[in-house]
Chains A and B, each alone.
Chain A
């Protein structure tokens, strides 16, 4: 069965420094992977998704993630954090080969950005 583990529940960075949010997955199939962001008291927004094309995926707001099959990882990065990046981030894996009927959600990583 598919599963996803976000390795850090909280990450704190200074404004202007790099961001790394870690995600490992388990999948019996070729997975589809997503990162979603949730700002305080807001809904969820897709940051980026991996669909078995390029392993380095670029998303919105300067975020990107690299799919590494050998490491079963899909870590989210950004070169320089901005105050507006403070939010909850969710790594998500699809259930079954390419079928998004059931998405398996990680528990989230809370990102704090300090001035």
Chain B
């Protein structure tokens, strides 16, 4: 199993550009999520999905869109990049979104810089 994969690893954008961060998992996990990690602020949840066709907002959703057309893929779209979106982005997945304490598996991250 590849686990959780993310592409690209690094990206530089200009203000106003749009792009999509890719995330895929091959573990048949129901639950997938996107976090951003900023110095001194820990991880903050952007969006999450409890299954194909179902998404919801996290703590900091503004400026980002997601969709979940398949169980495997959960892309994150930046609509119009801003310098405040400079961050490291992590995708995570877990077996179930229901009650319980399911381990989240993280991808290696995407380091995004917006100029």
- The chain A residues found within 8 Å of chain B, CB to CB, are 32, 34, 42-46, 49-51, 90, 94, 97-103, 105-108
Interface residues of B in 28-54 (CB under 8 A from A): 31, 40-45, 48, 50
Complex Cα gap A45–B40 (Å): 19
Q: B42 — which chain A residues lie within 8 A by C-beta? A: 90, 105-108
Shortest CB-to-CB span from B92 to chain A, Å, is 8
- Chain A to chain B contacts (Cβ below 8 Å), 25 pairs: A32-B101, A34-B101, A42-B108, A43-B108, A44-B90, A44-B92, A45-B106, A49-B103, A51-B101, A90-B43, A98-B99, A98-B100, A98-B101, A99-B97, A99-B98, A99-B100, A100-B94, A100-B102, A100-B104, A102-B45, A105-B42, A105-B43, A106-B42, A107-B41, A108-B42
B58 at the interface (CB under 8 A from A): yes
Shortest CB-to-CB span from B87 to chain A, Å, is 14
B interface size (C-beta, 8 A): 26
B107 at the interface (CB under 8 A from A): yes
Q: B44 — which chain A residues lie within 8 A by C-beta? A: 105
Shortest CB-to-CB span from A62 to chain B, Å, is 19
Complex Cα gap A107–B41 (Å): 6
Q: A99 — which chain B residues lie within 8 A by C-beta? A: 97-100
